[in-house]
Amino acid sequence: MAKTHNPLAGFFRTPKLYTKLPSQGKFYTDDVVDMPESGELAVFPMTAKDEVVLKNPDALLNGEAVAHVIMSCVPAVKNPRKMLSNDIETLLVAIQGASRGDNVEVSGKCPVCGEICTSTASVETALETMSILEETYSFHTDSGLEITLRPFTYESTIKAGIANFQSTRSLQSISAIEDEMEQLKAFNESFVRIAQMNFDLVVDSVASVAGKVDGEEFTVYDRNQIKEFLENCETSIGRNIEKQIENINKIGVNKRIQLECDKHGPFEQDIGFDPVNFFTAS
Ligand SMILES: [Zn+2]
């Protein structure tokens, strides 16, 4: 049976802006992002329900809130968890612009006096000046291996966020332990857990390791083999991977903004993309 035509249909929200992605969609299948030929995704303003979802702390922590809002406001996105974090951040900035206008108030603490200084940033400018992700990122080790990295997925970022939250909470409960030996033991356990989580993220970000044995070339994609290699290789390789990941994660919308203190002049600060407040000083 045909639905009754709603005379209000013409008043539903319409896209407020279009944005490209730092990945340009090149890593995605259609069931992750249905990329239009123009490479630009339509971005709708948030609905009242989206705003409510963003206020649920549990949903924010496990990534459900951001996933919901992105699917609501950017219909071309089918599976936000499989997207790269660089793209998710970009879409959050775009949704902020579509929902609350181009000018966004940003603030940060003067590093000298601690005074809160505010300024405005333009969403449109941030989107227009974004940097683009390369197809692959790789480097060579001294031993002649080529390590290829991939950017973090949003799923990994959520994992890291939850681990951070848990470690903060466990540090709080550790400080309440009275027995010093027990406290030290709990602290060590917490430290080991965080180190393990960081290690897992490093393993996740290695796409492949290639090299040559007796003139025969090989490329390893198997996660377990890569993990075993990383557990047994020199620490310099792990450090190098972490450094590269840090740089890859910076690609996308520029997170560095300039603020000015009345007394101490200009200073630069990174802004975070906290989905609750969007632009917040981190
Ligand atoms: Zn100052």
- Cα–Cα dist 86/23, whole Å: 8
The pLDDT of residue 279: 42
pTM here is 0.82
C-alpha of residue 111 to centroid of ligand 1, in Å: 7
Per the listing, tokens 């390369």 go with 134
What is Dmax (Cα atoms) for the chain? 74
Query: Who wins on pLDDT, 33 or 104?
Result: 33
Most confident of 42-51, 104-113, 190-199: 42-51
C-alpha of residue 149 to centroid of ligand 1, in Å: 40
The mean pLDDT of 242-267, rounded to a whole number, is 89
The pLDDT of residue 157: 83
Most confident of 60-64, 227-231, 251-255: 227-231
The pLDDT of residue 210: 97
Residue 269 above 60 pLDDT? yes
Residue 63 above 90 pLDDT? no
C-alpha of residue 258 to centroid of ligand 1, in Å: 13
The pLDDT of residue 158: 85
C-alpha of residue 114 to centroid of ligand 1, in Å: 6
The pLDDT of residue 250: 86
C-alpha of residue 100 to centroid of ligand 1, in Å: 29
Share of the chain above pLDDT 90, in %: 51
Residue 223 above 50 pLDDT? yes
Residue 68: which H helix or E strand, with range? helix 64-73
**What are the phi and psi torsion angles at 159 (to 5°)?**
-55, -45
Amino acid at 112: V
The pLDDT of residue 79: 96
Residue 273 above 90 pLDDT? no
C-alpha of residue 109 to centroid of ligand 1, in Å: 8
C-alpha of residue 246 to centroid of ligand 1, in Å: 29
Q: Residue 220 pairs with which residues in a beta bridge?
A: 209
C-alpha of residue 113 to centroid of ligand 1, in Å: 4
C-alpha of residue 116 to centroid of ligand 1, in Å: 8
Confidence class of residue 128 from pLDDT cuts 50, 70 and 90?
very high
C-alpha of residue 269 to centroid of ligand 1, in Å: 13
Residue 140 above 90 pLDDT? yes
Half-sphere exposure of 3 (CA within 13 A, CB side): 4
Counting runs of H as helices and runs of E as strands, what totals does the chain give? Answer: 9, 11
